[in-house]
Each structure stands twice: as structure tokens, then as C-alpha cells.
């Protein structure tokens, strides 16, 4: 599916559940929120989003542990999870989709670890019952990595909310 088709499916499933979604985006810089809000009728189900591009915003706004950020840097599964959980509480949303990663062209700082190569991406979805985190390795230009991360993230969210909507029906 294309990103806008995924966004439509997500909005439809959320409407059926009377549920709401938010985003916490680093690598994708608001692209996911843009796709979700491009769908007519999204207003009642999209709570908002945080573009947490800097470590300070991840820490101060989303509540990601500063110790964790110092130890592993911003590109890590635990950071994605804490971003999603923090945004879920901040936005009072049923679901939050979070992204963090390195789009390049240069490696990203890795905290106390080696630098993160471009294309390493972590996507987290925090929902009512759990938080799922996936790691994906993408290739291509900076723009391609970001676009592919949006597609992966929307696909993950669409699968979770569609499953939950079917379970509620």
C-alpha cells in the first residue's frame, strides 16, 4: 500500500474504535503526521504530534531518560519505546507511532557506542495493551530512507489498529 492508503485505513479503523492517535517523530520529522492529517475526517482521531529531532526535546518533552540518551544516543529501540510511551501520555492518545533513526548521509552519534550508520531505524507503536518496537535497515538517499521509514511505520501502525478494530467489532 501507499502511505496515503495506509493513512486512510488507519483513520477508518480508529474511527470505528472511537480511538485516537498521535506521533513522536525524529527521523521522519513530521511526515507521518502530515500523511495522517491529509485524510478527510482525521480531526476527531488525530490528537497531534511532537517532532523531537533533538535529544533535549526527547528528554524534556517526551520524558526519554537522559541517562539512556547519554548511553546509547538517540537511535535505539529503547529510545523509540520511551518516545512512544511519553507521547502517549503527553497527547492522551490511545495509540502513538514513534520513529528514530539515522537518515544520513553521515553516521549519527551513538552515545557511548559506535556511530549509527545511515538507514538504521527504530519504529515503536504504543497502544492500549502493549508497545511494539521494530528495527529496520533501509538503504538509499536521505530522502529515500525517510520515505521508506514512513511507509514501514504506517504499515506497522495500520496492522495494529486494524487488528484491534476487528477484535473490538
| 3-17 and 142-168 helices, crossing angle to 10° | 30
Q: What is the pLDDT of residue 163?
A: 95
Q: What is the CATH number of the domain that holds 14?
A: 3.90.950.20
Integer CA distances (angstroms), 93 to 4, 80, 129, 151, in order = 21, 16, 13, 21
Q: Judge contact between 79 and 36, C-beta under 8 A.
A: no
Q: Report the run of H or E that residue 123 belongs to, with start and end.
A: strand 120-126
CA angle centred on 98, ends 132 and 135, rounded to 5°:
55
Q: Judge contact between 122 and 84, C-beta under 8 A.
A: no
Q: What is the pLDDT of residue 111?
A: 65
Q: What is the mean pLDDT of each run of 10 residues along the chain (169 residues)?
A: 97 97 98 98 97 97 96 94 98 98 81 79 97 97 97 98 91
| pTM, entire model | 0.95
Q: Which domain holds residue 30?
A: 3-168
| Number of domains present in the structure of the chain | 1
Amino acid at each position: 500500500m501507499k502511505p496515503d492508503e495506509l493513512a486512510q485505513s488507519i483513520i477508518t479503523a480508529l474511527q470505528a474504535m472511537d480511538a485516537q492517535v498521535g506521533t513522536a517523530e525524529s527521523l521522519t520529522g513530521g511526515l507521518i503526521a502530515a500523511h495522517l492529517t491529509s485524510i478527510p475526517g482525521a480531526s476527531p482521531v488525530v490528537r497531534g504530534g511532537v517532532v523531537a529531532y533533538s535529544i533535549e526535546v526527547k528528554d524534556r518533552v517526551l520524558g526519554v531518560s537522559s541517562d539512556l540518551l547519554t548511553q546509547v544516543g538517540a537511535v535505539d529501540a529503547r529510545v523509540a519505546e520511551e518516545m512512544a510511551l511519553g507521547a502517549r501520555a503527553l497527547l492522551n492518545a490511545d495509540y502513538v507511532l514513534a520513529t528514530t533513526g539515522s537518515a544520513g548521509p553521515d553516521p549519527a552519534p551513538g552515545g557511548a557506542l559506535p556511530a549509527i550508520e545511515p538507514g538504521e531505524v527504530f519504529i515503536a507503536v504504543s497502544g492500549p495493551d502493549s508497545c511494539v518496537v521494530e528495527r529496520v535497515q533501509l538503504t538509499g538517499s536521505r530522502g529515500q530512507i525517510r520515505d521508506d521509514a514512513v511507509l514501514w511505520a504506517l504499515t506497522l501502525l495500520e496492522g495494529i489498529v486494524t487488528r484491534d478494530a476487528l477484535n473490538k467489532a
